[in-house]
Amino acid sequence: MTLEICKIGIVGAGQMGSGIAQACAVSGLDVYLNDVTADRINAALAKIDGQIAREIAKGSLGEDVRKLAMARIHPAVEYEALADCDLVIEAAAENEDIKRKIFTRLGPIIKPSAFFGTNTSSISITRLASTTGRPEKFIGIHFMNPVPRMQLVELIRGIATEDATFEAAKLFISKLGKTSTVAEDFPAFIVNRILLPMINEAIYTLYEGVGTVDAIDTAMRLGANHPMGPLQLADFIGLDTCLSVMQVLHEGLADSKYRPCPLLVKYVEAGWLGRKTQRGFYDYRSGSPVPTR
């Protein structure tokens, strides 16, 4: 029997966590949103409210949807507030130590019938599952960014993931009106295994002086018909996240073709992480993106 999912717990109220919360609430699910401080949760609630308002302005959602969706999202400052959730999704930073600590703490708190999902974009599902005490009830549920607009969700089974967990996750994704694709538990799965090396190669192209930021992004937009240039996309994803995924690929597959570009490392060391810090391959501080190289 497939577990009915009505209450969703989300750990991490950042860009991905707030997007998942919005998608769930708009689809009629109750959401319990957790982060390390109440201020972060409140900031996420304000962001979600603003995002739904923009959808209303475009005519894609009605005002009644906004009120109902916001009423379904409950701040959960303590992990104990997630105890009765049917599914708890971790959407914290792309750092294995942080994720392992979260699951180690959540394992004894969440009701036994519930299952865990992780929104990791690259880390081993099997390794993360081992920290929960219930690896059979653990699965990778990797949403694309921005969550409310992107159609695809990757589902990744760990070595111990039971069929019932997999079927419940598939049903959950269909409730959100999204499409699931299944990936094996290899570093970075499908989308990022293909996408991030392309972005890394674009950064090498900049690093080696083959083209400027503007030239590279224009070339890929107009020459490959990509909706966004790879350097612009890197800024949108977050250069720290891009670096983390490349490091997972490089370490997990031991192939030099996945070596992170030194320029990417330098930007992250400088704290130039893209849009979220107002500087990356573009400088956003003036309101209009200006290439930094």
Cα–Cα distance for residue pair 28/18, rounded to 1 Å: 15
177 φ, ψ to 5°? Answer: 75, 25
- Whether 250 is a known active-site residue: answer no
Structure tokens at 201: 């190669």
Q: Which residue in 119, 122, 124, 192 is the catalytic one?
A: 192
Can you tell me whether residue 33 is helix, strand or coil?
strand
Q: What dihedral do alpha carbons 142, 148, 149, 152 form, nearest 10°?
A: 20
Instruction: Tell me the C-alpha distance between 213 and 279, whole Å.
Output: 13
The one catalytic residue among 34, 119, 121, 244? 121
Question: Catalytic annotation on 269?
Answer: no
Indicate the length of the chain as a whole number: 293
CB 208 within 8 A of CB 251: no
d(CA 154, CA 181): 5
Q: Bridge-partner residues for 156, per DSSP?
A: 140, 183
Is 154 known to be catalytic? yes
The CA distances from residue 242 to 153, 180, 247, in Å, are 19, 23, 9
DSSP secondary structure letter of residue 5: -
184 is catalytic: no
Give the active site residue among 34, 154, 180, 244.
154
Catalytic residue among 142, 180, 200, 244: 142
| DSSP alpha helix (H) spans, the chain | 15-26, 38-58, 63-72, 96-106, 125-129, 163-175, 191-207, 213-223, 230-237, 239-253, 262-269
Task: Provide the token pair at 101.
Answer: 């600590």
Using CA atoms, how far apart are residues 166 and 24, in angstroms rounded to an integer? 18
- Catalytically active residues are 121, 142, 154, 192
